[in-house]
Amino acid sequence: MSTNPLHVSPPARDNGALPPSAKRASTWASLNSVRRYLVNQLVTVLAVMSTVVVIVPLVAILVYLIYMGASSLNLAFFTHIPAPVGETGGGMANAMVGSGVILGVASLLGIPVGIGAGVYLAEFGRGSLLAAAIRFTADVLNGVPSIVMGIAAWVLLVKGRGFSALAGGVALAIMMVPTITRTTEEMLATVPHAIREAALGLGVPKWRTVLSVSLKTASPGIITGCMLAFARVAGETAPLLFTAFGNQFWSFKLTEPIAALPLQIYAYAISPYDEWHRLAWAGSLVLIAMIMVAVTLVRIYASRGVLKGAS
């Protein structure tokens, strides 16, 4: 017995005579919570499984690529043009160079315009309706199939003239502009307004402030955004099918059809020759390696907080 004056004795217990309805309710409650627990576990399992199912194709593709392509990657691959049908050897050197030419044209045309539009959105049009419309249109343009850009470039430059590297470059440039616009805008938005004010307060004109302060500060991210756009269009085949068209030989002229790595891969893949299939795998490996490097670099930058959500 406690001597604590504040102690209150507990109420008398009755021994377990619960009414039947309470019994049913508590059984139902515990069954229900068991059900809820099981559902929770099931969903967890499903979520994990889906993630696994997603990872598997990637790993499978990569492994398969490496397996199929690695054996064909020799020096000849990088230095020779395709061998005539039936002969072994040869390479995709002209396709890689051709891709370089097309991408060079595309970058020259697309990057300045894209950065300019991004600068407009971030530095001049902030908050305006026009800027919102441009932003929205750029996002929508990003979803247009690339083959449509190819048709546009075809009408502009190929119709009546013939296939050309320039047309291919223009098709890819049209694709790069909206992407670069958005990433440039996002990167410029991370530049603190205070340092723009510092420059303006010193009597630096606005155009100089944008160039030497805003762009300069955001330049690592902007460059990364351009790299991303570059990697994205480097793998595009569809817009080149009837613009650059492809070429079995060396070609550097902008007004002639030119080879491109993805085009060549496609042509070889659907051909009936095993030798060419082998080359297609090797080419794919090169293409993927290049793109993976770009994506990884972007990721490294993103983890440093420079580029968020712009991949």
| Residue 224, CA distances (Å) to 23, 56, 228 in order | 65, 29, 6
103 near other proteins, rule: CB under 8 A: no
Which residue, among 177, 173, 113, has the nearest Cα to 142 in the 3D structure?
Answer: 177
125 residue type, one letter: G
CB burial string 179-193: b at 16+ within 10 A, e below = bbbbbbbbbbeebee
143 binds other proteins (CB under 8 A): yes
| Contact status, residue 177 vs residue 110, Cβ threshold 8 Å | yes
Position 170 contacts other proteins (CB under 8 A): no
> Judged by CB under 8 A, how many residues of this single chain contact other proteins?
123
- 76 contributes a contact to other proteins by CB under 8 A: no
- Positive or negative: CA dihedral 106, 112, 115, 117: negative
Binding other proteins (rule: CB under 8 A), the pick from 94, 107, 237, 247 is 237
Q: Does 275 bind other proteins (CB under 8 A)?
A: no
Q: Which stretch binds other proteins (CB under 8 A): 6-14, 80-88, 94-102, 122-130?
A: 122-130
Check binding of 299 to other proteins (CB under 8 A).
yes
Helix (H) or strand (E) holding 46: helix 20-70
User: Which residue of 212, 249, 250, 273 would you call a contact of other proteins, by CB under 8 A?
Assistant: 212
Query: At how many degrees (to 10) do helices 93-119 and 165-189 cross?
Result: 40
Pick from 78, 124, 249, 250 the residue near other proteins by CB under 8 A. 124
* Contacting range for other proteins; rule: CB under 8 A; set: 12-20, 77-85, 90-98, 130-138: 130-138
Residue 310 is a binding residue for other proteins (CB under 8 A): yes
Rounded to a whole number of angstroms, the minimum distance from the CB of residue 79 to other proteins is 23
Q: Work out whether 147 is an interface residue with other proteins (CB under 8 A).
A: yes
Report in angstroms how near the CB of residue 20 gets to other proteins at its nearest. Answer: 26
DSSP track, 55-95: HHHHHHHHHHHHHHHHTT-SHHHHHPPBPPTT---B--HHH
Nearest to 131 by CA among 121, 140, 139: 121
Residue 46 engages other proteins in binding (rule: CB under 8 A): yes
* Minimum gap (Å) between residue 134 Cβ and other proteins: 5
Footprint of other proteins on 251-270 (CB under 8 A) = 262, 265-266, 269-270
Q: Is 223 in the site for other proteins (CB under 8 A)?
A: no
